Amino acid sequence: MKSLLDERHLVSSFYVFFLIYTNIIGIGIMSFQRDITKDAGYDAWISIILSSISIHILVWMIYRILGIANNDIIHVHKFCFGKWIGALFNIFVIFYFLILALIVFRVYIEVVQVWLFPLMKTWQISLILLVLIYYIVSGGFRVITGMCFWGTILPLIILFPLNFFSLEFADFHNLLPVFNHSLKEIVSSSKAMLFQYVGFETLFMFYPFIKNPDRSQKWAHFGLLFSSLLYLIIALITFVFFSEGQLNHTIWPTLAQMKIAKFNLVERVEFIVVSIWLLLILPNVSVKIWAGCRAIKKVINVKQRISLVIVLVLFFIISNVLKERIQIERLNEMYSNIAFYFVYLYIPFLFLYIHIKHKITKGGF
């Protein structure tokens, strides 16, 4: 199945692996362990597996939805619900992607302020990051994809091995006893884990930019599987390093355990970790902003460069308004609830609805 866009704007199906990976692995990997253990304790590794399986099913559904339409979710909504109701759903999609990008953006600024530059103002950091994001997003989808590639390779090679230094102090008895939490607690932990996977839905927008998109599904699943394994490995390393009591009082466990690594020439390893992590945060935020601006262009016919500038100005203002950590956590919690219903209720509903309507219209789209 060919894309409707000019081939010079498209990327090979292989790059879907990196697009999915960078949309899932973001700022949350620094702190997800604390969130998922609140209900299921150190049985939370089961929650990672269960939530991963559910996301694989949802990715399959998305491909079926977009395969019928051979277009993005904006077109799907117009076909399924008509011009005006479809436009309301599309406006929701715009806010959905942009708010998620804002959360990742603002949390990373907080990490930089806590671990690197505690005296630096929020507006100074946000201005620097927004200039970089503008440069990436304005370059187009191929440039963003290139950033996703390097944002996967470099942080993975440099940062991932640092997690294993903490195994010197590991206590594997922390993982015992296994399966000592109820199914309800495991499911509740899986819900908390969902927020770490949120971002894969950008597939709804970049699907038309993939060469032979129907062949890219395996790469999407590989990207999701690799991300899940990374979460699982880091979670297990964290569980054997921290006791549950320690973990409850540690905001960024991944960063804390990376500090264990010692090198002769580097005294503060966390400086390197937070700095290199920017290579992953930039494409993570850029894809979501691009998706939001692309949706704006298709819904209200505003050029992407204009909407991009407006969005980045709003990001600058809002990121400076969100000064307290509790404000960020409330926004995060609100968005998590919305994402839960969008992912687990709306995507299956849309999957069933488009198949029924496609059959009724006898293949017309």
Cα–Cα distances in angstroms (integers) from residue 320 to residues 109, 110, 120, 326, 335, in the given order: 10, 11, 12, 14, 19
Residue 101 lies in a domain: yes
Among 48, 73, 273, which residue's Cα sits nearest to residue 158? Answer: 273
The neighbour count for residue 144, using CB atoms within 10 Å, is: 26
Please give the tally of structural domains in the chain: 1
Q: Does position 362 have pLDDT exceeding 70, yes or no? A: no
Average pLDDT, the chain: 90
Residue 6's pLDDT is what? 66
> How does pLDDT run across 248-295, given as a tens digit for each residue?
888 889 888 888 887 777 777 888 888 899 999 999 999 999 999 999
Residue 322 lies in a domain: yes
Q: Which residues, at least 6 apart from 135, have a Cβ–Cβ distance to it below 8 Å?
A: none
Exposed/middle/buried for residue 1 (C-beta within 10 Å: 0-12, 13-18, 19+) = exposed
CA distance 111 to 127: 16
Phi, then psi, of 210 in degrees rounded to 5: -105, 130
Residue 335 lies in a domain: yes
Q: Which of 165-179, 259-273, 310-324 is modeled with the greatest confidence? A: 310-324
CA distance 242 to 174: 8
Residue 1 lies in a domain: no
What percent of the chain stands above pLDDT 90?
Answer: 61
Residue 159's pLDDT is what? 83
Residue 365 lies in a domain: no
Residue 263 lies in a domain: yes
The neighbour count for residue 212, using CB atoms within 10 Å, is: 12
CA distance 296 to 74: 10
Q: Which residues, at least 6 apart from 41, have a Cβ–Cβ distance to it below 8 Å?
A: 180, 181, 185, 244
Domain containing 115 equals: 7-360
Residue 161's pLDDT is what? 87
CATH classification at residue 114: 1.20.1740.10
* pTM listed for this prediction: 0.93
Q: Does position 92 have pLDDT exceeding 90, yes or no? A: yes
Q: In the structure, what pLDDT confidence band is assigned to residue 73 with cuts at 50, 70 and 90?
A: very high
Asked if 72 and 66 count as a contact pair (C-beta separation under 8 A), the reply is yes
Which residue matches tokens 């894809």? Answer: 287
Residue 287 lies in a domain: yes
Residue 31 lies in a domain: yes
